[in-house]
Each structure stands twice: as C-alpha cells, then as structure tokens.
Amino acid sequence: MALDVVMVAGMLKLLPLVSPVISIVIDLAIILFFGSIALIGYKGYLSGIRKLGMRLFFGLVCFMGGVALAPFIPIGDQLLKLMVGSLIGDAISAAVIAVALRLMTLNLPYSLVLREKIKVLQDKLDKRSDRDAKVPNDRTLEPATVAGILVFLGFIVFSLLNFHGFPDIMKDTMSAMGLGDKELAEISALASQYENSPLANMSAACRSSVSLLGVSGLTDTVYEDQALKAIIETKENDTVSEMYKMESNGKVLINAALSSGKHCYTTQTEFCYCP
C-alpha cells in the first residue's frame, strides 16, 4: 500500500521540531548509562538522589569525553563513525573515570558509610571494619588517591579542551546522509507548499488520476459526459467547451477546457480541481 503523501509531508514539516527532542532523550539515556558504568569504580555508598546526581555528573563527563575522543577513533565511514565513534569514546571515558574513582576511594573509611544500611549491608560492614579502623583519622593524601585525582582532573581538562559542543544526533545523521540545513529547509518548504495546494485535499482517486499529468507521451481523446459537464459548470460558473480523456495503466483523467481559458481536471465520477 502506497504511503500517504500528505502524512509524509506532515512528518517532514515536524522534523525540525521533533529532532531536538529526540536528540535530548538519546543524549540523556547515554549520559545515565555511562554514568552508571563510571560509578562502578566508586567504593563509597550512594543512595537516592545522591546516586542519581553522581550518575548525571560522571555521565556528563563521559559524554564530553566521548565527543572529544570520537575524532581519534579509527573508523573510515563517516556515518558509522558518527553513530559508533562517540559510543566507543563514551565507553573509554567511563572506563577511565571508573579507574580514577577506584583509585580516589581505595582507602575510604567505609564503616561509617555502611552503617547507614546496617541490615542490608551488615556483611560488608563486618568485612571492612578492620580495614577502616587502620586508616588514621588525620589521613594524608596517599599515592593511589593522588593518582586517581590526577587521572580524573587530567581527563576533565582533556575533555574540555577537545569538546566541540553537544552533538545533534538527528541533525548529524541527516547531514551524513547528505541532508543539510538547506536541504531540510527546502523539504519543509515543499511540504508546506504541498499542504497548501489543492492536491493535499484531494481524494486518493483524484491524486491517482492527476498523476497522469506528469506522464509524457499520452494522447487525449475527445470525451463526452453531460452529467460530469454539468458538475464542472456549476462549480466554476463557466461553460465547458471541450472535454478530453487521458488514460494509462487503469487510471483515467478528464481534462475539461472552459470558455474562459481555464482547465479543470476530474475522474470519470469525481470533480478534482481547477488550477
């Protein structure tokens, strides 16, 4: 079944409005997903809104890192690089952040954290209490903690220096397919023009018959139908001087020439339009 042209025109017209929303939803999903992976390296306990906030923060860092790393991913195909390169960069970023967080929280005094969930995390509390007791209260920065901080800060600096803005996934995909802003604007204009034309309000039978106007090599034959002639003259308040029939592949188009010089088009049973 042929796709309704009016529906396609409407979808193309809505594309500039829908595209940013789709991109935001996809970006947010990517940020939350890779933020969760990055938090694997965190040895402390987070709950509720704190965990969500950390997922968003570290996910955003991973997202920026993925955009920064994408140009360095050796993928030749531009469209594939657009779709896969950033995700590979996000995964690398999440791994780097996870390692940095693990190093930064390696000697975290965990007993105080775990007591917040005594019943749920009692087993973990027992295993870590002895180790946490050995950590001095006036802790100084240990080599592992310093290394984690340096990796984390270094990666943030790298991401900020190489970050070139949040990608519009829909727009970039269209661009990779050869549809830039100019082409999309032209498509939207054509869609609007089509919606405002008589063709948009025609029945499927009329649109099918009118399509014969674009077929070359068809011959006109004189046609007579008094009932159809009366319908045209009533609608246009004009006199039909001649009627011609065009026919091809089971489609029939009637071309009615009016005395005023206008031409009206109909099927054998239905009035379509007069340009």
- pLDDT tens for 183-213 read 666 666 666 665 556 666 677 788 778 777 7
Taking the CB of residue 138, how many other CB atoms lie within 10 A of it? Answer: 4
Residue 33: predicted pLDDT: 93
Q: Let me know if residue 23 belongs to a domain.
A: yes
Of residues 246 and 141, which shows the higher confidence score?
A: 246
**Cα–Cα distance between 120 and 45 in angstroms, integer?**
12
| Whether residue 161 sits in one domain with residue 31 | yes
| Whether residue 217 sits in one domain with residue 179 | no
| Whether residue 210 sits in one domain with residue 99 | no
CA nearest 251: which of 273, 239, 267?
A: 267
239 pLDDT higher than 80: yes
Q: What is the DSSP letter of 3?
A: P
Q: What is the 3-state secondary structure (H, E, C) of 152-207?
A: HHHHHHHHHHHCCCCCCHHHHHHHHCCCCHHHHHHHHHHHHHHHCCHHHHCCHHHH
Q: What is the pTM of this model?
A: 0.46
How many structural domains comprise the chain?
2
Of residues 123 and 7, which shows the higher confidence score?
A: 123
Q: What is the arithmetic mean of pLDDT over 224-245?
A: 87
- Yes or no: say if 151 and 99 are a contact pair by the CB < 8 Å rule: yes
Residue 2: predicted pLDDT: 35
| Whether residue 95 sits in one domain with residue 29 | yes
Task: Give pLDDT tens digits for 42-91.
Answer: 877 677 788 889 999 999 999 999 888 888 888 766 666 667 888 888 99
Of residues 228 and 120, which shows the higher confidence score?
A: 228
| Whether residue 157 sits in one domain with residue 267 | no
- 272 three-state secondary structure: strand
Residue with tokens 């870590």: 128
Q: Let me know if residue 86 belongs to a domain.
A: yes
182 pLDDT higher than 50: yes
Residue 113: predicted pLDDT: 57
**Cα–Cα distance between 123 and 231 in angstroms, integer?**
89
Q: What is the arithmetic mean of pLDDT over 242-263?
A: 86
6 pLDDT higher than 60: no
142 pLDDT higher than 80: no
Q: Let me know if residue 218 belongs to a domain.
A: yes
pLDDT category of residue 255 using cuts at 50, 70 and 90: confident
CA distances from 122 to 105, 167, 168 (A): 20, 45, 46
Residue 233: predicted pLDDT: 86
| Whether residue 155 sits in one domain with residue 57 | yes
| Whether residue 52 sits in one domain with residue 147 | yes
| Whether residue 146 sits in one domain with residue 32 | yes
Task: Give pLDDT tens digits for 144-180.
Answer: 888 888 888 888 888 888 877 776 666 666 666 666 6
Q: Let me know if residue 116 belongs to a domain.
A: no
| Whether residue 95 sits in one domain with residue 49 | yes
Residue 96: predicted pLDDT: 93
Q: Which of 185, 213, 248 is the last residue of a domain?
A: 185
| Whether residue 221 sits in one domain with residue 96 | no
Q: Let me know if residue 156 belongs to a domain.
A: yes
End-to-end CA distance of the chain: 28
CA distances from 150 to 34, 62, 108, 156, 180 (A): 21, 16, 17, 10, 41
Q: Let me know if residue 133 belongs to a domain.
A: no
Q: Let me know if residue 196 belongs to a domain.
A: no
pLDDT category of residue 93 using cuts at 50, 70 and 90: very high
- 147 three-state secondary structure: helix
Residue 247: predicted pLDDT: 85
| Whether residue 178 sits in one domain with residue 214 | no
| Whether residue 168 sits in one domain with residue 208 | no
Structural domain of 245:
204-273
Q: Which of 185, 214, 241 is the last residue of a domain?
A: 185
Q: Let me know if residue 120 belongs to a domain.
A: no
